[in-house]
Amino acid sequence: MPTRRFNAPGDAALDTLYEDIAHKDLQPLWELSGLLTPTPSVKAVPYRWSGKELRDLGERAGELVPIDRGGDRRVLSLSNPGLDGAPYATATLWGAVQYLGAGETAPAHRHTPAALRFVLEGEGVWTLVDGDPLHMAAGDLILTPSWTWHEHHNPGDTPVTWFDALDLPLVEALDAVFFEPGDGRTAQGATAERSASERQFGGGPGLLPGGASAPAPAHSPLLRYRWADTDRTLAGQLTEPSSEAARTGHAHIRFADPTNGRDVLPTLRCEMHRYLPGHTAPEQRHTGSVLIAVFHGTGVVVLDGVRHDVAPGDLIAVPSWTSQRVLADGPLDLFTVSDTPVLEALGLYRTEQVSDPIPAQNA
Ligand code: GTQ
Ligand code: FE2
């Protein structure tokens, strides 16, 4: 926070000037510090939430807190200890676990903050996006773009937990949050093996609908990215001898709009990383913040030099300009979501290599 510095005592005219300035709701820049810092002054701290604890607390909420009609979500939001009690994982990103019990339905609504889901385990939930039923199974990425209607249905007999990410803090900072509840009616025909979005845009690599192209929406028209496709792509990179992934032991993909290669949502970038033991990805930092969801494997995520042991289901906040390196015990699959498209669009994306890309050694 800017602070007012001491000015020389006994100068009555100057004192009066400062009083008059304050009285008119003005502040003299020459008395302010902490605004234009040499590097970002980041309030959020690097932090890890345990998957085991998230699962346990979600289950207990499932038993004790029923979902009411009217837009309720059984969601535990990640509240970064550096953010003064705000329910935000970083300055720009909302992260949460959502728990939907057997037979439950979370009713329809829409909002301007964009959302996505990454399923950590289980299957058998359908999220309807503008009425299109998208099946959610472990490892799948499901998009709920800005202002699309969505509701979640669990017609099966087992509860399902997934990771939610939204650009809510960013949209809130821009004073652009709008919300509208649905009419309370539950959609019929709420399941399908393959969504309409996948039937049109998920036919296969490079296969897009022909004919006149409609005006492109600001988000990917493909709303579900299946784990089988993600997994095959990562494995393909690692088994192709000429690839960078094979050389470094670090495969990674960016989930993209199939029609133009852009990020899946205008504000959010999604990636999947597979690190092998002894990989050579360097320690790096960049502007903008990231949330990591650990999908498979164990290892260590080192954030600003502090080691965090990670296991499946763990969620990790990586605030802006935090140095990061990953050490894998075996193949370690990490899903990440970041605000990078925003930083890039505004010319604010910066990255820096913090140390040499020596092979990572697990202590
Ligand atoms: O599933 O619609 O974690 O509206 C936060 C807000 C999930 C949802 C969240 C939401 C949702
Ligand atoms: Fe929502």
The mean pLDDT values, 10 residues at a time, for the chain of 363 residues are: 55 94 96 93 98 95 79 89 98 97 93 98 96 97 98 94 98 98 83 94 90 80 98 97 95 96 98 96 95 98 97 98 97 98 98 73 46
pLDDT of residue 362: 47
CA of 164 to the centre of ligand 1 (A): 7
pLDDT digits (tens, 9 = 90+) for 191-209: 999 999 999 999 988 899 9
pLDDT of residue 1: 45
Cβ of 55 less than 6 Å from ligand 1: no
If you count DSSP H runs as helices and E runs as strands, how many of each does the chain have, helices first?
Answer: 7, 22
Q: How far is CA 210 from CA 198, 214, 223, 234, in A?
A: 15, 11, 19, 29
Cβ of 150 less than 6 Å from ligand 1: yes
Q: Whole-angstrom Cα distance, residue 175 to residue 172?
A: 5
Cβ of 326 less than 6 Å from ligand 1: no
pLDDT of residue 357: 57
Name the CATH superfamily housing domain 47-201+222-362: Jelly Rolls (2.60.120.10)
**For ligand 1, mutation pick of 104, 166, 168, 178 (most atoms within 8 Å of CB):** 166
Dihedral of the alpha carbons of 76, 79, 80, 83, in degrees to the nearest 10: 160
pLDDT of residue 219: 95
pLDDT of residue 217: 83
Answer yes or no: are the C-beta atoms of 103 and 154 closer than 8 Å: yes
Q: What residue type is 48 in one-letter code? A: R
pLDDT digits (tens, 9 = 90+) for 273-310: 999 999 988 899 999 999 999 999 999 999 999 999 99
pTM: 0.93
Cβ of 115 less than 6 Å from ligand 1: yes
